[in-house]
Structure 1
Amino acid sequence: MTAMAFRSEVRIQEADFDLTAEVAALRAGQPGVGGLVTFVGTVRDLNEGASVAEMELEHYPGMTEQSIATIIEQARQRWPIFGALVIHRVGPLKPLEQIVLVAVTSAHRGEAFQACEFIIDYLKTEAPFWKKEQTPDGARWVDARVTDETALDKWRT
């Protein structure tokens, strides 16, 4: 088995992404990959009891990418993963549109599942993104949910 170089990429963009193409690129030329796990987050039409017509995501350019790269490196220190890709969209998004893609490759599924979950759990609470929803009552900023903070607890022990 040939040693594989670690692949890591973080992209913040307004444009949508093609899940199939992104996954194919992440695992291309990596015959040691036995597990590839993805998470795709989408805009819901309902949040905290209110209809959501649109969600607008803002970020801090440069800082956001570095924050996510640090999260990926922390996952790499915990699990023997071969690659990680995070694509996070910004700008106005409608319900059903894709917001985020987290993809992780490893030799085995267990490590890929754990690393993917770790990355999205930290991304939801630690990466500098701000979300504003358009509801029937007007615009409102969205705070991190208690369940997102609780999800981090399993990684902190």
Structure 2
Amino acid sequence: TFEAKWSAEVTEAAGQVDTETIRLATGLLLPIWSALPSDHLAVNRIADAHGNSWLGRLVFDQHVVQLYTKLGIAKTDDLPVDAIARSVLSGRSVDVVRPFPMTLRRSIVNGNPRVEIVDAPASQLPWLKSLGCFTEIIAYRTRVFVPATDAEAVLSRILKAS
């Protein structure tokens, strides 16, 4: 019967714990409103099991890096590499300070999206190539790219080397 199946499903679901990390910009939002992502403007109230509640704007993984950059916060090193890769592949630039100051951004070359490492020192090119990056000379400049198909793995090797 329906009731028996429903009870079995409830019992099964009760034993599972789903954990999700959310980021909520709270406090005085008006001064930083323009720095917050413009594609999700809703203000949400989050309440926990103890009765505490927070009012603010949700900041999704792909927007965290851009928000940190706009607010002048150099905290890309504590962001998950998959969040950085998703942010770059979605078209946002990410400033990274380790292992050396650089900007990760999506570039279109010959109609194909690529992840580019901007401001990579020439002395680091052999090391970057050994981690899976490749270079191309475009308009008399050597540019460094991360393969878009393997961006997360290559970026992980680069960022963990710091």
TM-score band, normalised by shorter chain: under 0.3
- What TM-score, normalized by structure 2, do the two folds share? 0.23
User: Which one has the bigger strand percentage?
Assistant: 1
Task: Answer 1 or 2: higher relative contact order, Cα 8 Å, separation at least 6.
Answer: 1
